Each structure stands twice: as C-alpha cells, then as structure tokens.
Amino acid sequence: MSEIIGFKVGEEIIDTQTAQERGLSGEEIIFDNSIESLSIIRHSCAHLMAQAIKELYPDAKFFVGPVVDEGFYYDFKTTSKISEEDLPKIEKQMKEIAKKKLPINKSVMSRQEAMEKFKNDELKQAVMSRITSDSFGIYSQGDFEDLCRGPHLPNTRFLHSFKLTKLAGAYLGGDEKAEMLIRIYGIAFADKETLNAYLTQIEEAKKRDHRKIGTEMGLFTFDEEVGAGLPIWLPKGARLRRRIEELLTKALMIRDYEPVRGPEILKSSVWKISGHYDNYGENMYFTTIDDVEYGIKPMNCVGHVKVYQSSIRSYRELPLRFYEYGVVHRHEKSGVLHGLLRVREFTQDDAHIFCRPEQIKAEVSNIIAFTDSIMQAFGFHYEMELATRPEKSIGEDRVWEVATQALVDALQEHKISYKIDEGGGAFYGPKIDIKITDAIGRKWQCGTVQIDMNLPHRFMLEYVDENNQMQEPVMIHRAILGSFERFSAILTEHFGGEFPFFIAPTQIVLIPISENQHAYTEELRKQIIALGAYAEVMDKNETLNKKIRNAEKQRVPMILVIGEKEQQSGTLAIRDRREKSQYEMKESEFLNMVEKKMREVSF
C-alpha cells in the first residue's frame, strides 16, 4: 500500500486537500512501510492508544509516548487496575475512534500557557521540565490532546493496521527511585498484510525464545540467591560455549592472535586515565581495598593496554593482536535484563590490535573477512553500520577524522554497503557495528570494530620506528560475536534449539536396549568423544520409547539404538533428526562420518 497522504510543512502534516486550499507546499508524505512513514504512523497510533485509554479510564494521566524499535509505547497512570487481559478492549476502542476519521491538528502554546493549562497534571509537568524550549507543540484529535513535537498523520482514518503487544511497568523517566507507571506497547504498519506477517513472526519468536528452549534443553539457569543478570551455565550450555570457543581459538591462532589475560579488578586510577571513570562510571561496579578504590572491569581494553606496556615495542612487531575471552561486569538496570541477551556478567570474544596508522585499513579489512567466515558458518545474513563521533566523547577532531576514514576505506574495499549511525560511536572512537539477521528475519546487534587513537595517547603507548624514533600506535577494539552469552541466545533462537551437528551440546545419544549392551555402548561413546563430539548414554530404567522421546525433546541430532543385533554385526541403527531419516551404517563408517562432520565447519 502506497499513497500520498499529504505534505510535511514544518513539524505538521497537512492533508492534500487542506494544502491545496491554503496554497501550501512541502515534502510529500507517502503512506507506506518505509522507515520515515512508519515513524509517523506509529507516533500517531500512540496518541490513538492514549485517546482510547482516556475514554476507558477517564482519570488516566500520560507521560510520554515515543516511537521505539519494537513499535511504540505510552507511559501513563490510572487508579484502575489494568492487565494484559485489557489490551483487546483498548484496541477495540482504538478502532472505533479511528473509524470516526478525526482530523489531527497541531497548535503551539507558550511555556507559560502550557504550565497553566496542565497545572493539575504532574506527569505533563514532568514532561515540560525535561524540555528547554519556550514553546510546546500540542496535537489534538477529537477531545483528546497531548504535548508532542510531531509530526502526525493528518487524520485517524489512516490508522487501521495496529496491534497492542504487551503491558509492562516503567519508572517515571527511567529513574528507579521515581514512581512506577504503566507502559503499553504496540505495533503499527501501513497495511494489514505487513501487520499479519509481523504477528506471525512474533508467534514464531515465542516458540524460539532462548529462555524457554534453554530451560527445556538444560543449557543455563538463573538463581535469585545468586543475583539478577548473572547466568549459571549448566553442562550442556557450557559444552555449546566451549565448542564455539574451540572453533574461534583455532581461527585466531591461524590469524596470528596471541592469548592474554588481564585482571578482572583494577585500581580506579587506570579507569580515570582511560576515561571510563568519567564517561562510563555509572555502568561500573566499584569497591575499596586497603583504602584504595578499585573498579571491576566493564571492558578488557585497559588490561590489554598493560600487556602492550609490559615491553618496549618495535615497529617490526606491529601489528600486535591480543585476544581474551574476558569476563566483564556492567551495571544494567533490572528492568532491561532479558535472559542471556542482557545480563550483568558476560564474556566477550575480545581482541585488541596495536598497529601503525598505515596498517589500520589492512587490519580492519582482515576483521571484515574474518567476520564473513563466521557468519557464513552459522548461516547468518549480516549488515554493517558505521557509527560516528558521539556528543559525549574524548579526543581531537583530526584524530576522529583519520579513524573514521580508515573504517570507510576498509568497507569500500570489501564493497560492503553500510548505513551511518550519526553520533553512535564509542566515546573514544568511531566504530563499525555488525548486525545479523536470523532465520525469522529479526536483526541483532552483535560484534563491533572500533578505532581508538585516544587510549594509546592517554596511556602514552609507544613503539620505536625504523628511524629509531618513538611513535604512538593505533588501537583497534574488536569483538565479532559480541559476547558468548548474547551470541548463544541468538544462536538458540536462530536455530530454534536445533543446533547444527558441529556445535550441538549433545551430538549423539546412545540407547542400549539391555544391560548386555552397556559395555559396548560405553566403548562407542569414548570413541565418539575422542573425535571431538559429545555422546551421552541413556541407561535409566525407562522404556525404549520414553528414552527416544527424551532425546528428541533435547533436540539431539542423532540417536543410536543399540541391541544385540547391532552389537554382534557392528552395524548401527541411526535416527538422524536433522536429515529426518533412519538408516544403518557400519560402526567404522559412522565414526568416519562423525569425524568429518566435526571438521566440516571452520572459521
């Protein structure tokens, strides 16, 4: 669906008829599913939802209703008790209002007028206190109005393809010390077909939720006695992680990366030198030892800087590539914690490259190629985004310009199209963000490549050049997976728990039919493990069918049922879950196949 619905004049959208009557012109607004159009549709739909809530719950007061990645939401409060069961009722009211084809109009009010108008509404007062402007935009439709800068659609008749998705609590302004408000999320599109496709994706996502699958497969758990956002890896989940680490480590060694390890707690003085104390301190954990303040590391970079400083460096050594599967801690608010996707402790596949300025392009180019090999191994489509200097940053303009251009050159060399995230860089340098698309079309932020000319300067890093002069190296921060926790969650949802054979937590389940086959089955298990795969023997006192069902619930790729016939003949009966077939194979042939499967994927 695509049509011109009006013209954008300033921050207001005027419908075509009104524009003609007033003799106005401006940017054409197309009603479709483009990013720009959806932003306007969803912003307008947020107000439609607020109007419906106000009609159903007259004492409702509203805070803010922005457009976000997952659609839109509104924060509000009311004395009525509202639950997710009330969402269909609110949605029905929204549809009734939309059918009235109410014009959406904008007016402007001075701060003094607005303060007087909303003097009895503490949430509106809170909104205005966060805005420095001397005037406010007011959008109205029917008898509903709210503070808003817009723009909005010209009429409610365009709002017909929406769905309220969930209800949650939210602190006023994100302040955990402030009062709790109700937050209702929704989604909206230009047409019902796109909405229905999205809702189908959401249902599929629920089935693939890594928290649900992780529990079913026994991958990880959380314990309130341990603390929120602190995952506990169970044996099967740890095997999944270990296998990814093994593949990654082999690839790093081939690419001349050296393993290092820094401490997990460092004096605050080094975090002050690095800039983390002032620019990232609110996300860190601190403690005091012998009257000296220490910070638990939120990143591995300072430790790697200290590795570099441990020796006098020559230009002949560069580039130096250090890697560490470093455990880091970050203070995430409890409201944003989400399974393995958002935690307070996680392990990064972190690396830092120290090089000469003229080596930046080649090193970034190698990282891009490395990234491509990993993404292909897991079947991910991916895109890259160049994030530029943020408002809160350190360093000289010239340094930022050189670093940013090096990233651009590397992307262009690989003929990679990229988006630009203005102001989205790290506080110490520009970066490339790696965003992957999973099996059901969702995009995930994973790895990053960051150029840093500031930390080397702050820590006075040097190398001796070919003229025996001291020069300052460039530091490249690089994580391709992002973190093992987040990447494991994404993999789980991407495959729906049906992991490829080469990384499955348990590749093979062996089921002996009777006690007579236990010794043979155990010997076969040891041979499989020697090949790098993991085999589990199911020998509980249960029926054969129940054992097979349990293995299938665990989504194990292969099940081998071993009876007297198989033991005597050396021919194995195989149930192949990935191939959805059953077949027989000589033991030697089977072991060769397992070895081949474990070697067929590399980074």
Smallest CA-to-CA distance from 462 within 317, 585, 559 is with: 317
Active site residue 301: yes
From 15, 75, 124, 301, the catalytic residue? 301
To 10 degrees, the CA torsion angle through 544, 549, 550, 553? 160
β strands within 392-454, DSSP E: 418-421, 431-437, 443-452
The residue type found at 451 is I
Q: How many angstroms separate the CA atoms of 552 and 550, rounded? A: 5
Q: Is there a contact between 281 and 296 (Cβ–Cβ < 8 Å)?
A: no
From 163, 210, 313, 330, the catalytic residue? 330
CA angle 294, 298, 302 (to 5 degrees): 75
DSSP state of 111: H
From 51, 141, 348, 359, the catalytic residue? 348
Task: Give just the sign of the alpha carbon dihedral 528, 531, 532, 533.
Answer: negative
Distances (CA, A) of 319 to 361, 525, 569: 12, 44, 57
Q: Can you list the alpha helix ranges (DSSP code H) found in 218-291?
A: 235-254, 268-274, 276-279
Active site residue 276: no
Active site residue 208: no
Active site residue 350: yes
Smallest CA-to-CA distance from 144 within 37, 40, 38, 61 is with: 61
Active site residue 348: yes
Active site residue 431: yes
Say how far residue 87 (Cα) sits from the centre of its chain. Answer: 27
Smallest CA-to-CA distance from 321 within 458, 449, 483 is with: 449
Q: Is there a contact between 517 and 581 (Cβ–Cβ < 8 Å)?
A: no
From 236, 241, 304, 352, the catalytic residue? 352
The tokens for 153 are: 């659609």
Most distant pair of Cα atoms in the chain: their distance: 92
Contacting residues for 364 by C-beta, under 8 A, at least 6 apart? 406, 407, 410, 432, 449, 451, 476
From 15, 146, 350, 452, the catalytic residue? 350
From 42, 43, 54, 431, the catalytic residue? 431
From 477, 478, 525, 597, the catalytic residue? 477
Active site residue 160: no
Q: Which residues are catalytic?
A: 301, 330, 348, 350, 352, 431, 477
